[in-house]
């Protein structure tokens, strides 16, 4: 499980530029950013929190919407907003968007806040034909089978902490996740045919899935 109680952590209420923030979620923002389709007219960041990934996506998409159930996080994100960015307080399982609205749907460390099958199904439904879904999530380790992953995570965490203090985000936390890594991989491959699923060292997994088909005429 991820380390907690960092003595060198940066408080969530500290004013820290995006470029200087680091935690186990931010470490895998690159997975999302490298999977953005081109062109990308509309993107949705599910569980956006204070909007760091949402803002980063704006450099690769014409318009980005951040969705989160936490009003405080959305308020903080709006305070750092800019052109082409919108933030919405809402629930993924009852989304205020029509199916197939987005070229890209992303989510980092939010899926375990809901039932995994329902959450993945809801996100996939919002992706237009030819669009991409990228999810970075948490899962529960099972010992002794996952002991090597746990050890590698602790080593990488300590090495990174020597360079960058851990930024403590203010978003609500849910721990432990209900699904194991094996369970999440099985669910993803069954629900999203053709998905690319990976496990990562810092207590995260990711999936990248492209919805079959092409965009309706006039949307590309």
| Greatest alpha-carbon span in the chain | 54
User: Six-digit token pair at 93?
Assistant: 């399982």
Residue 8, domain member (yes or no): no
Average pLDDT in the chain: 88
Integer CA distances (angstroms), 192 to 37, 106, 187, 197, 211, in order: 18, 15, 8, 10, 9
- Give the alpha-carbon dihedral of 53, 58, 60, 62, to 10 degrees: 140
13 in any annotated domain: no
206 inside domain: yes
Per-residue model confidence as pLDDT tens for the chain (220 residues): 554 444 455 555 455 677 777 788 998 999 999 999 999 999 999 999 999 999 999 999 999 999 999 999 999 999 998 999 999 999 999 999 999 999 999 999 999 999 999 999 999 999 999 999 999 999 999 888 888 888 887 888 787 777 777 667 666 777 788 899 999 999 999 999 999 999 999 999 999 999 998 765 444 4
15 in a structural domain? no
In a domain? residue 18: no
Specify if 9 maps to a domain.
no
Q: What is the pLDDT of residue 146?
A: 86
- Structural domain boundaries enclosing 58: 23-210
Distance CA 80, CA 51 (A): 8
What pLDDT digit, counting tens, does each position of 48-83 carry? Answer: 999 999 999 999 999 999 999 999 999 999 999 899
Q: Which CATH number fits the domain that encloses residue 178?
A: 3.40.50.150
Determine, yes or no, domain membership for 118. yes
Q: How many domains does the chain have?
A: 1
């Amino acid at each position: 499980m991820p380390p907690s109680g960092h003595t060198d952590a940066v408080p969530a209420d500290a004013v820290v530029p995006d470029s200087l923030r680091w935690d186990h979620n931010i470490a895998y923002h690159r997975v999302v950013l490298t999977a953005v389709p081109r062109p990308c007219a509309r993107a949705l960041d599910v569980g956006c929190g204070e909007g760091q990934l949402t803002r980063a996506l704006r450099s690769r998409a014409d318009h980005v919407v951040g969705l989160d159930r936490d009003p405080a996080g959305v308020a903080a994100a709006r305070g750092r907003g800019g052109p082409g960015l919108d933030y919405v307080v809402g629930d993924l399982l009852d989304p205020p968007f029509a199916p197939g609205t987005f070229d890209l749907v992303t989510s980092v460390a939010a899926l375990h806040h809901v039932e995994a099958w329902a959450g993945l199904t809801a996100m996939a439904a919002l992706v237009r034909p030819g669009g991409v879904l990228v999810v970075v999530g948490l899962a529960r380790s099972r010992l002794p089978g996952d002991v090597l992953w746990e050890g590698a995570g602790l080593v990488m965490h300590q090495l990174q902490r020597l360079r960058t203090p851990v930024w403590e985000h203010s978003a609500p936390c849910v721990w432990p996740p209900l699904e194991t890594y094996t369970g999440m991989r099985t669910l993803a491959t069954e629900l999203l045919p053709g998905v690319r699923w990976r496990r990562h060292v810092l207590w995260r997994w990711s999936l990248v899935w492209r919805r079959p088909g092409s965009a309706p005429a006039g949307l590309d």
